[in-house]
Amino acid sequence: MFIDFEGIDGSGKTTLSNLLAARLKRLGYRVAHAREGGELQAPAARRIRDLTRDSRLLELSPRAEFFLNLARDAQQLDEVVAPALARGEVCITDRYLYSQLALTGGGRGLPAQALRPACELAAQGMWPDLVVLVDVDPDLARWRKRLGKLQSAKASDGDSRKGLAGAGLAVRVRESFLEMARQDPQRWLILENNDVPLRVLEQRLVDAVVARLEGRDVPVQRIVPAPAALPTEPTTVESAEERFFQALDAVEVREPALAVWMLSGMPGLPAHQRRLAFAERYPALTARGLLGLDDEAAWTLREVLAPVAPAEVAASLAGLTGPRATMLRERLYAQAPAEVLAGLKRDGSTQAWALRERAMRDGRLADVLAGLSGVDDEESWLVREAGMQRKLYAEVARSLGGLATERADALREVLLPHDRLAVLRSTTGLDTPVARGLREALAGKAMKLVLRSLTGLATEEAWALRERGAPLTKEALDSVDGLDDPRAWKLRVAYAHKWPSTVLSSLKGLPLGPHARALIDKVLSEQPGRLPVLRNAYAVITTARHAAPTHTRVPRVDAEAAARVEFQG
């Protein structure tokens, strides 16, 4: 029997496919997993996958990407799948040719009827007996994916080629998968992975697959969890806190690490009490979730967690200045130099330079550059010159963040042939000739980064790009974070149904005025049971109610760039 798992990134298909393989083996079946442990078993297929994920290949067209992905699947088929089936084994794949139809047709927009003949050629008539579609809310999938990267120490600001298109790609791919499932209900089994514990999903999946293996009919296409009881009263600004923490209780039962992560950046006593309850079990995640918090409770918790999670505590200091932050950085430098130095952005103080000079003596030039954005004194330019001599082009480019001078743009021009995406990231919130030229050149190749680079901008060019990007991906709404502009409100209202979580997160930093309250109530009434929506609504509300005094606030663009991973859905 040939079983294929499909789903968007972060859906849980890799985890579930490996769980199924292990359970079937324990039940006595001979099983081959073509992507056991998340790694393609055919070496040539692994090489091709690396190529298709390489974000430096911006000119790689959707058509060329499609044929490369077909080659990967064909190699897996010839080298792993077909031999396993010939031996009479159950063969499980994590992605097959359906993924290429969903990505290139649904996601990239090429006509599906033109893609199918090539897929038939690659398949050589060998299609799965059962396709398990692991279906999930795309916003929730992003939360899980980011959490997984953090827990596996793979967090970075890099993107795959798919990631560069923006989060809207996953929405379109999911819709394509669901349409394929509707058209072939006997072959496809839909497994919802939104709010059911993993062990329950695993058992339901095993039962369904064993029924197929034993020749018993599966009566329904969709394995539907018991519906969650929706509140009898509508969720509003006033009731958002209660509803969010009720939802968080349910998350804690099935995914406690995700519950910790969803508290990231939230001020206020209720969130703090939850963090205290999690601190012993999840010290690193709890510490990282303090990013942007400058109240007494957050500082006390940093002191408690510093001995056991020094890197995460240091990372939580990003954007914070003052004696307390300086003293803690100095204490943590020996254990977490990279995180300490990265948190010095926009800080040209004597104390910050003392840490940088210490790091230079320690040979940590790349880490110094990582925390140099927004600093425009002569010492900073000497460090950038040293970075150029060492060919640390991406690090130098990122050190130019927040700098709109002719000198900075001249260096960006020099860096463009080496790393266009790093240069683009350095233009966030800037309206310079290089920034405008890059956005125009890369809008069709790196939509996500182009749109996010508009954060804080209210130029005509910025609004035109947002209006162009909003139907395709949520990052158009990311870029209006904190903007109290009529055009920003118009964009929020127009896309509140399409990108509800992101529309809410874009309100962070704004007061709870009539427009904000009406929009939050509207989104909550339309999406009453979606966890990412509840989370972002409450985060906006509690942030507005606990707004820090002006002298402790971080500049808007830099703060959003630092905290986006923690906040947005």
Per-residue pLDDT, 303: 97
Strands across the sheet containing 188-192: 31-33, 90-94, 2-6, 130-135, 188-192, 222-223
Helix (H, G, I), strand (E, B) or coil at 154: coil
The pLDDT-based confidence of 229 (bands split at 50, 70, 90) is low
**Whole-number pLDDT of residue 82:** 97
pLDDT at 143 over 90: yes
Give the separation between CA 321 and CA 317, rounded to whole angstroms: 8
| The pLDDT of residue 223 | 76
What is the spatial distance between Cα 498 and Cα 502, in angstroms, rounded to a whole number?
9
The pLDDT of residue 86 is above 50:
yes
Distance CA(343)–CA(364), nearest Å, equals 14
Which of 158-162, 451-455, 516-520 is least confident? 158-162
Mean pLDDT, the chain, integer: 92
Q: Among 88-102, 270-284, 540-554, name the one with the lowest average pLDDT.
A: 540-554
323 in Cβ contact with 299 (< 8 Å):
no
Residue 31 lies in a domain: yes
In percent, how much of the chain has pLDDT > 70? 93
Q: Report angle CA 144, 257, 158 to the nearest 5 degrees.
A: 40
Whether residue 435 is predicted with pLDDT greater than 80 in this model: the reply is yes
Contact 31, 41 (CB under 8 A): no
Query: Residue 164: is its pLDDT beyond 80?
Result: yes
Question: What is the reported pTM?
Answer: 0.91
Q: For 552-557, which contacts have Cβ atoms below 8 Å and span 24 or more sequence positions?
A: 552/294, 552/322, 554/292, 554/319, 554/320, 555/346, 556/456, 556/481, 556/482, 556/509, 557/402, 557/428, 557/429, 557/455, 557/456
DSSP H/E element including 33: strand 31-33
pLDDT above 60 (res 156): no
> Taking residues 83-91, what's their average pLDDT?
97
pLDDT in tens, 546-567: 884 543 333 344 444 444 434 4
- Return the structure tokens found at 444: 């069709």
Q: How far apart are the first and last CA of the chain?
A: 38
Whether 399 and 370 have beta carbons less than 8 Å apart is answered as yes
Q: Angle, nearest 10°, between helix axes 486-494 and 514-526?
A: 10
Mind listing the pLDDT tens digit for each residue in 382-431?
999 999 999 999 999 999 999 999 999 999 999 999 999 999 999 999 99
In 3D space, the residue among 278, 212, 201 whose CA is nearest the CA of residue 2 turns out to be: 212
Tell me which of 231-235, 271-275, 342-346, 541-545 is least confident: 231-235
Residue 163 counted as domain residue: yes
CA distances from 275 to 199, 248, 478 (A): 26, 12, 26
Residue-level pLDDT at 195: 86
Token pair in block for residue 184: 């072939």
Question: Using 50, 70 and 90 to split pLDDT, how confident is the model at 158?
Answer: low
Nearest to 345 by CA among 279, 271, 403: 403
Give the residue, 119 or 566, on which the prediction is more confident. Answer: 119
Would residue 441 count as lying in a domain?
A: no
Mean pLDDT of 6-14: 94
CATH code at position 61: 3.40.50.300
* Residue span of the structural domain in which 49 resides: 2-223
Residue with the two structure tokens 């006509």: 111
> Taking 80 as the threshold, does the pLDDT of residue 358 lie above it?
yes
Let me know if residue 514 belongs to a domain. no
Contact predicate 49/109, CB 8 Å: no
Q: Characterise 319 by phi-psi region: left (phi > 0), alpha (psi -120 to 50), beta (else).
A: left
Is 280 a domain residue? no
- Alpha-carbon distance of 97 to 338, in angstroms, equals 41
- With respect to residue 563, please indicate whether it lies within any of the assigned structural domains: no
Tell whether the model's pLDDT for residue 451 goes beyond 90.
Answer: yes
Lowest mean per-residue pLDDT among 43-47, 155-159, 199-203: 155-159
In a domain, 190, yes or no: yes
**Is 569 within the bounds of a domain?**
no
Q: How many domains are contained in the chain? A: 1
